Structure 1
Amino acid sequence: MSLNRRRLLQSAVAATGTVSIAPWLIAQTAKEQPELSADVAIIGGSLGGCAAAIGALRRGLKVVMTEETSWIGGQLTSQIVPPDEHGHIETHGSNTSYRKFRNDIREHYRQEYPLTDAAKANARLNPGGGSVSRLCHEPKVALAVLNQIFAPYLKTGQLRLLLETVPVAAEMSGDRIASVTVQSAKSADKHVVIAPYFLDATELGDLLPLTGAEYVTGAEAKSETGELHAADQAEPDNQQSFTACFPMQYVDGQDFVGDKPADYEFWRNYVPDLTPAWSGKLLDLHYSSPRDLKPKKLDFDPTGKPTKALNLWLYRRIVDASNFVPGTYEGSVTLVNWPQNDYMLGNLVGVTPEEKQKHIDQAKQLSLSLFYWLQTECPRADGGSGFAGLRLVPEMTGTKDGIAMYPYVRESRRILAEFTVKEQHVGRQQRSEITGLSGNDLKAAQFSDSVGIGYYHIDLHPSSGGNNYIDFASLPFQIPLGSMVPKRIENLIPACKNLGVTHLTNGCYRLHPVEWCIGEAAGCLVSYCLEKSISPRAVRNTPDKLADFQRSLTSEGMELAWK
């Protein structure tokens, strides 16, 4: 064993009170892979992983962070989805660092893009003007801002970033992670990462099975959780659909129609087998309205003409050409993350690597088929069909095919935590039934160990198990520290969608600003634990330490309660 590795393991001992290093680890004589050591290892460069790194680096920790793709930022970048946020986001209801990040995106446009004078002067610039968010923007801009944040730390070596790298093995010492082996997708080179703490910031909770951590997938049974909307039986393989997102641009008068996708006929005629029933064919301008599941009409028109129903072109538009000096863009660009390209025929979790890749490939075929259908068969208001001027925009995705480099993931493995957030804590209807309150008097459960806040309705897309939308109101909620403490493993912390929530409450904890809060809290927690030589579990269960940790969070701009 190298001296460096022994010292890092001894550091872990000092931080957590473990009395000895595992004998098998001390006696190891086999040739070891190159080692990387840090105060904290962040496995996964998701949005939560980036926020965790920001929190840890700000507090002076040395960080190693890996990322499966070539872009850090997860939902915002490699998955290319503009932020889904609550209506108060510009002023409160998120971390100061998150709002600064949003403002830095706007400032990047002002400094680097030829905006019109009106757009440049708009303090709340929405570059794409999409209706889903107050800040719809290109994924590369979010990536540029994140890279700018991390550049000084990379230069000094405080941060080591390994792109296109995945975890492949973990060494355990009792209930502690001793090291994680990561492998490069490009060269198959491996590194052994050693640190006192490991954060799982992967999109699918990939560290959990490698470390033997207890976790859950899919839908829990009502008898287990007591949730009003839970399933009658546990269904681990019943998971939310994922989406192969893509941006597309419209150039009036052009014809970009290419070859028909290989699986076009299948997807053109596909009718989802869901309960309650879907509205008809998936490739159609009707869908099941999430709240009441009745067929609902949508419209699609990229030409700018007014529509009677919601125009999908405007919904997630990430470039509004009118915000830029004429000639900057040939046409506006929208991001396609719609009901029509939700993939529900299989899962990314709980399957073999081969099956996982098969589902990703099929999801891409669905998205390419939807794109071709929009070009050729989508009904137009004038009675015609299709918009031949639509084109894919691979220069915005960093991929050859114009599809996002990673699927948009809505549901991960979730740790079995000291505390699990359930519907009765945050769901409006069940909270009202429990408390007898309504209106402004009705609040989500208050958590004394809060480390952040968030707000979004409970939004579950159609699932691989055949459920149609599950969508109902929630209340502004808190993120309890107990949901970030695994039941058994002492130095593993979730920093993403893999915290202690249920299939249902994941539906409101999975959104961009909430994931940021989870990640930043995780990064700060490691710093506090190392400084005080205390475990995360002890922080949560020692009142004076918990209060001290929470004061440190609020001093750094993290909101712990709704005003």
Structure 2
Amino acid sequence: MTPEPDILVVGGGLGGVAAALAACRAGRSVVMTEETDWIGGQLTAQAVPPDEHPWVEQFGTTAAYRRLRESIRAYYRQWYPMRSEAIALTALNPGAGRVSKLCHEPRVAVAVLEAMLAADRAAGRLTVLTEHRPVSAEADGDTVRAVTVEDLRDGGRRTFTARYVIDATETGELLELAGVEHATGAEARSEYGEPHAPHIADPLNQQGMTVCFALSHHEGENHTIDRPRMYDFWRSYRPAFWPGPLLGFLAPDPRTLEPVSRTFVPNPAGDPLAVSADQSADAGDKELFGFRRVLARGLHRPGAFDSDITLVNWPLNDYWLKPLVGAGERAAAEAVAEARQLSLSVLYWLQTEAPREDGGTGFPGLRLRPDVTGTADGLAKSPYVREARRIKAVTTVTEHDVSIDLVGPYGSTRHRDSVGVGNYRIDLHPSTGGDNYIDVGSVPFEIPLGALVPRRVRNLLPAGKNIGTTHITNGCYRLHPVEWNIGEAAGALAAHCLGEGVEPHQVQAEEKGFEAFAAVLDRAGVQRHWPDVRGY
């Protein structure tokens, strides 16, 4: 039996892994659970290449996150038959996709994350329980006393009584199980005065999720799947705010909402070394195959691969008919099932009906890649979840803190208790409440410790999309490097509190207490403030 840990991390996504690493770095014992059989969350099990800010190669992340990125590059240089020109690139983009400067296959990230945890597992500081999910929690007043997890393989249950519990689940499940005050969906505009919030609160108005999948293309072959059960529904579905059928290449531009045609050209010509992945200069999202390409055969020796590989996370397969949280387990299961049917329907439409540049229809040579996603059916292990339950926090980040229209190009809220930084547009996808894209320019922002501290509960910390943001600001705090930073800060905070005999509320509220914790983060290479570059 695993001894009772100092810290229980529930959820093995990027925030959970970062939390576990930080706590182990401080010498604490940790148990980390994960619902799938892959750690890494949105980077791996959800099959989403990292969404990052344009300066990620220079600054604006933690040292541990930089190690993750560079280790992914090193994996390709070591084990793939890359051209010498690609190997020599300091800023190698393995997939030459345009969404990120580091597009890569999910399995590579799994291998690297496992390697990052290996020493702590060997030392006995860390136990990782995959295919385990939380089913209940016991709270005594303002303290979470115990969490019970279920083994999804045999139904067995175990209860842990860690002194600190970190909720790194994708939907903030522990907040509900432990009775921690939280919000879901959209707040009313009157609550925080956010210009883009709706006039009436709607807890079930949540960003759509996406079930991603991987494709390669093999001209002259036929890999057409069976007609999906819900294909007729999705083939005829036309949202009121959409310029045409959802299964089509015409979709709104997220920033202007004007109808824009996407193009789809499998295995696009051109040298992938010439691809520039800088969304601040060019969104790059109008050519679908190349946008989230994770393997570019042109980066490798001739004949090594007969196709590129791309990940499908497009306007076509965003699902928003039913909410994922707050409507009960049955509704959530139905939502996931329908989202999976949508993605299969997108694939079938691509294979049989999609218009080609040569005037024909259908790409039967598109091959679903279960080997890339690690599943039997070829779909990602879990949906890409954009919005979770959010703690009622000591500090709530609102649109007034980050919107460039509200703070100006050189503004932003500077937090005394900053534990990290991030940058991304306020990027909300169509929602279950019928909203179209909400895409708002933002400024580089800080992560206040107060957003990680629940107003009441003393020993539970969030480590992902469940921090104290709003429905609106979640849209820029939900991406890969910010989730990692949040998790790293949460793990370090729990360990610091155990070592110093203090509580998170004290660390956040007391100047000397925060200074001591900030020194811990500084030594670990956590960048807590953006550089002031005005005048340069």
Fold similarity call, TM over 0.5: yes
Contact kept? 1:169, 1:181, Cα under 8 Å? yes
Partner of 1:553: 521
User: Counterparts in 2 of 1:44-443, with a 5 A limit?
Assistant: 44-273=11-240, 277-305=241-269, 310-432=286-408, 439=409, 442-443=410-411
Q: Structure 1 residue 352: deviation in Å?
A: 2.4
Contact kept? 1:115, 1:323, Cα under 8 Å? yes
Partner of 2:530: 562
1:365-413 Cα offsets, whole Å, 9 max, x none, are 1001101111111111111111111000000111111000100000000
Matched letter for residue 356 of structure 1: A
Structure 1 distance, partners of 2:526, 2:243, is 43
Contact kept? 1:136, 1:318, Cα under 8 Å? yes
Contact kept? 2:267, 2:307, Cα under 8 Å? no
Q: Structure 1 residue 35: deviation in Å?
A: 7.0
Q: Structure 1 residue 353: deviation in Å?
A: 1.9
Structure 2 distance, partners of 1:429, 1:562, is 19
Question: Is there any run of 5+ residues in structure 2 with no aligned partner, and where?
Answer: 271-283, 532-536
- DSSP-derived class of the 1:192 partner: strand
Q: Structure 1 residue 248: deviation in Å?
A: 0.4
Matched letter for residue 419 of structure 1: T
Q: Structure 1 residue 547: deviation in Å?
A: 1.1
Structure 1 distance, partners of 2:20, 2:29, is 9
Query: Would the alpha carbon gap of residues 122 and 477 (structure 1) be closer, same or farther in structure 2, given more than 3 Å must change?
Result: same
Q: Structure 1 residue 347: deviation in Å?
A: 1.4
Q: Does 1:540 align with 2:483?
A: no
Structure 2 distance, partners of 1:401, 1:457, is 33
Structure 2 distance, partners of 1:367, 1:233, is 32
Matched letter for residue 179 of structure 1: A
Partner of 1:25: none
Partner of 1:21: none
Matched letter for residue 504 of structure 1: I
Q: Structure 1 residue 303: deviation in Å?
A: 4.0
Contact kept? 2:99, 2:285, Cα under 8 Å? no
Structure 1 distance, partners of 2:222, 2:215, is 13
Contact kept? 1:252, 1:303, Cα under 8 Å? no
1:8-33 Cα offsets, whole Å, 9 max, x none, are xxxxxxxxxxxxxxxxxxxxxxxxxx
Contact kept? 1:35, 1:192, Cα under 8 Å? no
Matched letter for residue 319 of structure 1: L
Structure 2 distance, partners of 1:428, 1:169, is 41
Q: Does 1:470 align with 2:438?
A: yes
| Percentage of matched positions with identical amino acids | 49
Contact kept? 1:36, 1:191, Cα under 8 Å? no
Matched letter for residue 396 of structure 2: T
Partner of 1:451: 419
Stretch moving more, 502-511 or 524-533? 524-533
Matched letter for residue 488 of structure 2: E
Structure 1 distance, partners of 2:285, 2:507, is 51
Query: Would the alpha carbon gap of residues 484 and 335 (structure 1) be closer, same or farther in structure 2, given more than 3 Å must change?
Result: same
Matched letter for residue 150 of structure 2: Q
4+ residue stretches of structure 1 with deviation over 3 A? none
Structure 1 distance, partners of 2:506, 2:269, is 60
Structure 1 distance, partners of 2:182, 2:335, is 23
Q: Structure 1 residue 37: deviation in Å?
A: 0.8
1:208-246 Cα offsets, whole Å, 9 max, x none, are 011100000000001011111111000000000000000
Structure 1 distance, partners of 2:463, 2:221, is 45
Partner of 1:6: none
1:331-381 Cα offsets, whole Å, 9 max, x none, are 100000001000011111012222211111111110011011111111111
Stretch moving more, 82-91 or 254-263? 254-263
- DSSP-derived class of the 1:329 partner: coil
Matched letter for residue 549 of structure 1: F
- DSSP-derived class of the 1:179 partner: strand
Matched letter for residue 262 of structure 2: L
Structure 2 distance, partners of 1:535, 1:401, is 46
Structure 2 distance, partners of 1:367, 1:462, is 16
- DSSP-derived class of the 2:57 partner: coil
- DSSP-derived class of the 1:195 partner: coil
Stretch moving more, 262-271 or 40-49? 262-271
Structure 1 distance, partners of 2:477, 2:483, is 7
Matched letter for residue 278 of structure 1: W
Structure 1 distance, partners of 2:286, 2:343, is 20
Contact kept? 1:36, 1:194, Cα under 8 Å? no
Partner of 1:524: 492
Contact kept? 1:35, 1:193, Cα under 8 Å? no
Q: Structure 1 residue 289: deviation in Å?
A: 1.0
- DSSP-derived class of the 1:507 partner: helix
- DSSP-derived class of the 1:37 partner: coil
Structure 2 distance, partners of 1:492, 1:246, is 34
Structure 1 distance, partners of 2:317, 2:222, is 23
Contact kept? 2:208, 2:429, Cα under 8 Å? yes
Contact kept? 1:196, 1:491, Cα under 8 Å? yes
Q: Structure 1 residue 466: deviation in Å?
A: 0.3
Contact kept? 1:36, 1:193, Cα under 8 Å? no
Contact kept? 2:268, 2:290, Cα under 8 Å? no
Contact kept? 1:198, 1:492, Cα under 8 Å? yes
- DSSP-derived class of the 1:443 partner: coil
Structure 1 distance, partners of 2:267, 2:151, is 44
Contact kept? 1:247, 1:402, Cα under 8 Å? yes
Alpha-carbon RMSD across the aligned residues, in angstroms, is: 1.3
Question: Is there any run of 5+ residues in structure 1 with no aligned partner, and where?
Answer: 1-33, 433-438
| Structure 2 length-normalised TM | 0.95
Structure 2 distance, partners of 1:488, 1:476, is 29
Q: Structure 1 residue 309: deviation in Å?
A: 8.9
Contact kept? 1:128, 1:320, Cα under 8 Å? yes
Contact kept? 2:204, 2:327, Cα under 8 Å? no
Q: Does 1:515 align with 2:491?
A: no
